[in-house]
Amino acid sequence: MVGTMQIRVYFFSRGRDLAGCAEAVESMPPGSCVEDLLEQLFRRFPNLAELRTSLRVAVGLDYRHGDWLLRDGDEVSILPPTQGG
Amino acid sequence: MQRELTLTLEAIDEAAWLARRAMTRETGAAVYFSGVVRATEGGEAIAAIEYEAFERMARHQIELVFQRVEERWPVQSVRVAHRLGRVGAGETALWVEVIAPHRQEAFAACQFLIDEMKRMVPIWKKAMAH
C-alpha cells in the first residue's frame, strides 16, 4: 500500500518462542511510534503479551521508548529482559 | 582507556587472557571477575546454560558501557570476554579485567561494568537439563 512504512521486526529468546518466528515485517502508517508497533504486534502475536510489561525495544542498535517515531525501513528488535553474565 | 571485547563460542582461557595483561608505571590495581555457570538453577540440577545474543547490539551496548566507565573513573584498561552458545556447569561464562591506578576505582568500575552489562546488553540464557 502506498504511503505505509515497512518495519522489520526481530524476536529473540523467549520472545521468539512466543511469537513463533524470528522475524516479521509490519506495515505501519506514517507517524507511527514504537508503542503503535507493539500494539500491532500484540494483536498479531497474542502470546507475546506475556512480555508486555518486561520487554524493551531497540530501533537499530539503541534502546528506544514507546514514543519514539519510526521511519520506513527501520529494524526493530523486541528484547526480553537481558540476562548476560 | 584501552578496551578489548570478545564474544566467543569457545572456552575462555583465563590463563591466556591473564598472560596478556598490560600494565603501566601508573598501574596500582588489577581487578578480576569470573562469572561461572552454577550447576543448579532454581534448585534444579542443570548441565549447562545456553547463551543467546543479539550480537551486533551487544557489542554496541558494551562499548557504551565502556564509555561510561571511562567517563567516571581513571581506568587504564578494560577487557571483557563473554561466552555465547552452550556453556557447561562450572565453566566461565564472563571474564572481566579492570586495570586502574588505585583499587577503589578498579573495584567500583568492575562492579559497575558487570551490573550495567547485565542491565543493558542483549544476552539471554536458557538452562539446559541433564
pTM of the full predicted structure?
Answer: 0.94
Residue A85 has a pLDDT of 63
> A84–B121: do the CB atoms touch at under 8 Å?
yes
pLDDT average, residue stretch A39-67? 97
* Chain B CB contacts of A12 below 8 Å: 52, 54, 122, 124
B10 in Cβ contact with B92 (< 8 Å)? no
Residue A2 has a pLDDT of 61
Domains of chain A: 5-79 (3.10.20.30)
Task: Give the nearest chain A residue to B57 (CA atoms).
Answer: A61
Residue A62 has a pLDDT of 98
pLDDT average, residue stretch A58-68? 98
Question: Considering the domain boundaries, does residue B120 fall inside one?
Answer: yes
Question: Considering the domain boundaries, does residue B70 fall inside one?
Answer: yes
Task: Give the nearest chain A residue to B125 (CA atoms).
Answer: A83
* Chain B CB contacts of A62 below 8 Å: 60
Question: Considering the domain boundaries, does residue B21 fall inside one?
Answer: no
Task: Judge whether residue A9 has pLDDT over 70.
Answer: yes
The domain of B102 spans 2-15+26-128
Residue B47 has a pLDDT of 97
Residue at A61: amino acid letter: L
pLDDT band at A1 (very low <50, low <70, confident <90, very high): low
Question: Considering the domain boundaries, does residue B20 fall inside one?
Answer: no
Q: What's the rounded Cα separation, in Å, for the pair B55 and A3?
A: 33
List of chain B residues with pLDDT < 70: none
Q: What's the total number of domains in chain B?
A: 1
% chain A with pLDDT above 70: 95
Question: Considering the domain boundaries, does residue B72 fall inside one?
Answer: yes
Residue B21 has a pLDDT of 96
HSE at residue B70, side-chain half, CA atoms within 13 A, is 13
C-alpha cell at B37: 555457570
Interface ipTM: 0.93
CB burial string A57-66: b at 16+ within 10 A, e below: bbbebebbee
Q: What's the rounded Cα separation, in Å, for the pair B93 and B22?
A: 22
Residue B42 has a pLDDT of 86
Question: Considering the domain boundaries, does residue B45 fall inside one?
Answer: yes
Kindly report the CATH number assigned to the domain that includes residue B52.
Answer: 3.90.1170.40
pLDDT average, residue stretch A4-18? 97
Question: Considering the domain boundaries, does residue B68 fall inside one?
Answer: yes
Q: What's the rounded Cα separation, in Å, for the pair A33 and A67?
A: 5
